[in-house]
Amino acid sequence: MNLTTVILAAGKGTRMRSKLPKVLHPVAGKPMVQHVIDNAKALGATSTNLVYGHGGELLKQQLGHNEVNWVLQEQQLGTGHAVAVAKEHIGDDDRVLILYGDVPLTKQETLEGLLKATPERGLAVLTVDLADPNGYGRMLRDNGKLVGIVEQKDANEEQLKITEINTGIMACHGGLLKKWLGNLSNSNAQGEYYLTDIVAMAHSEGVEISSSQPSHPMEVEGANNRVQLAQLERAYQGWQAEQLMINGASLADPARIDVRGTVTTGQDVHIDVNVIFEGQVELGDDVVIGPNCVLKDCKIGDGVVIKANTLIEDASVAAKCTLGPYARLRPGAVMEEDSHIGNFVEMKKSRLGKGSKANHLTYLGDAQIGEKVNIGAGTITCNYDGVNKSQTIIGDHAFIGSNSSLVAPVEIGATATVGAGSVVTTNVGDKQLAVARGKQRNLDGWQRPTKKS
């Protein structure tokens, strides 16, 4: 049976007080609705239908890379109407999963549980019990069996006491769903076509109705304003921190870490406060990360020490390296085993060989650096002539004196030495000493400039 998903994302989100459509506001660094689309893909959906209304151009700009059917809901006439506009994309024998673009935290296993509970020719609803159900539709049961859903504004006093509420997420047989959508009425307090009315229709026809629940109520919370958006963010980050600790990481403060992607860790990893992970990050055993670091799309080997305020993006760091504080690895940077970069050192598209070090105030761009090389403070590989990038190659055991400029393309041989303050423009052979600086002159009787009146 094919799985078809319908994601409702047409709301404007007035209470967000933003030019951005509500579902594009981010949780963990990506739009809320992208979380929902990713879930649909992970579930193996053969068709995903995104029902949109407000901000269509912005939605397509940010979400255009996804394989979805774009379904326009020109008028917002309720959830039943929103699903109905996607009817032509629903097959009679499909299993249809209805999701919401502003409910980003629903876990894949929760949706799998709902689909598993769905009768082959029936309906299943994701419900949750809340201590305070105010504002939500209540689940109506007769001898334990679901018979309908009543919205808050249509509920009587007795029904308002019910604590089991409707999350809106449901799964259904495609042919039955389309038939029920055609029979919806807007005779209610809101004047809208309620998707929830199909539960009563199913009951009246003797169709089997089941339900399941998430492991945590926050999985089914939406965001209508920025306060609620922040609550979703904290809940998500709390879960990520918990998983990191379960996997073998110690966190200085679980409330002060942000995961905006996927992090895998080895054992005995130590993470200080205000660390941000983005994209795909892999940490080996015994990694130590200081405060205020940002790691994005990188692989960190065993025993690496990353000191405070270090940024690593699209880079690879082998075992036993140290970085920082205030170091930066840009895309294409590679540190081989036991290499070291210190404060205010930046690497881009460069390889630092095994046991080599650049401990202070250095820029290494488009460079290939051998083993056991010492890069003195203030060294720059001058890799850009204003039009083209060129490469600097430094052999094993070379020594580059402080405040040197290596003007690429240039090669420094193995065990070569570059004197401090040199501007090197031609190749240096193995074991050679290169001194490339102006001759010093000391002048007597020189007068300093004076300030003009």
Has residue 273 got a pLDDT over 90?
Answer: yes
pLDDT tens-digit map of 2-17: 999 999 999 888 999 9
Start-end of CATH 2.160.10.10 domains in the chain: 243-434
Positions at the binding site for Mg(2+): 102, 224
pLDDT band at 361 (very low <50, low <70, confident <90, very high): very high
pTM reported for the whole predicted model: 0.90
The residues, ordered by sequence, that sit 6+ positions from 350 with a Cβ below 8 Å of its Cβ are 332, 333, 334, 364, 365, 366, 367, 368, 369, 381
Tens of pLDDT, residues 223-233: 999 999 999 99
Side-chain half-sphere CA neighbours of 155 within 13 A? 21
Residue pair 367/383 in contact (Cβ under 8 Å)? The answer is yes
Annotated binding-site ranges for UDP-N-acetyl-alpha-D-glucosamine: 8-11, 22, 73, 78-79, 100-102, 137, 151, 166, 224, 330, 348, 363, 374
Q: What is the pLDDT of residues 314-352, one digit of tens each?
A: 999 999 999 999 999 999 999 999 999 999 999 999 999
Strand partners, 412: 394, 428
Instruction: Give percent of the chain above pLDDT 70.
Output: 100
Task: Report the pLDDT value the prediction gives residue 12, as an integer from 0 to 100.
Answer: 86
Select from 214, 43, 172, 195 the least CA-distant residue to 112: 43
DSSP state of 448: P
Write out the residue limits of the CATH 3.90.550.10 domain(s) in the chain.
3-220
Whether the pLDDT of residue 1 is over 90: the answer is no
Q: Cis bond leading into 331, ω under 30°? A: no
Residue 316, H or E segment: strand 316-317
Q: Which helix (H) or strand (E) holds 116?
A: helix 108-117
Q: Checking phi first, is residue 421 left (phi over 0); if not, alpha (psi -120 to 50) or beta?
A: left
Place of tokens 């870490």: 257
Q: Which CATH number is associated with domain 243-434?
A: 2.160.10.10
Task: Give the residue numbers annotated as catalytic, written as ranges.
Answer: 360
Which of the four pLDDT bands, split at 50, 70 and 90, describes residue 441? confident
With a cut of 90, say whether residue 447 has pLDDT above it. no
Q: Bridge partners of 410?
A: 392
Tokens 């920082």 correspond to 324
d(CA 335, CA 222): 43
Angle made by CA atoms 402, 403, 405, in degrees to the nearest 5: 120
Q: Across residues 114-134, what is the average pLDDT?
A: 95
pLDDT tens per residue, range 362-375: 999 999 999 999 99
The mean per-residue pLDDT over the stretch 147-166 comes to: 93
**Mean pLDDT, the chain, as a whole number?**
96
Task: Using the structure block, give the residue that is written with the tokens 């002060």.
Answer: 256
CATH entry 3.90.550.10 includes domain 3-220: yes
Helix (H) or strand (E) holding 191: none
- The answer to whether 361 and 380 are in contact (CB under 8 A) is no
- Is the omega angle on the peptide bond into residue 119 within 30 degrees of 0, that is, cis? no
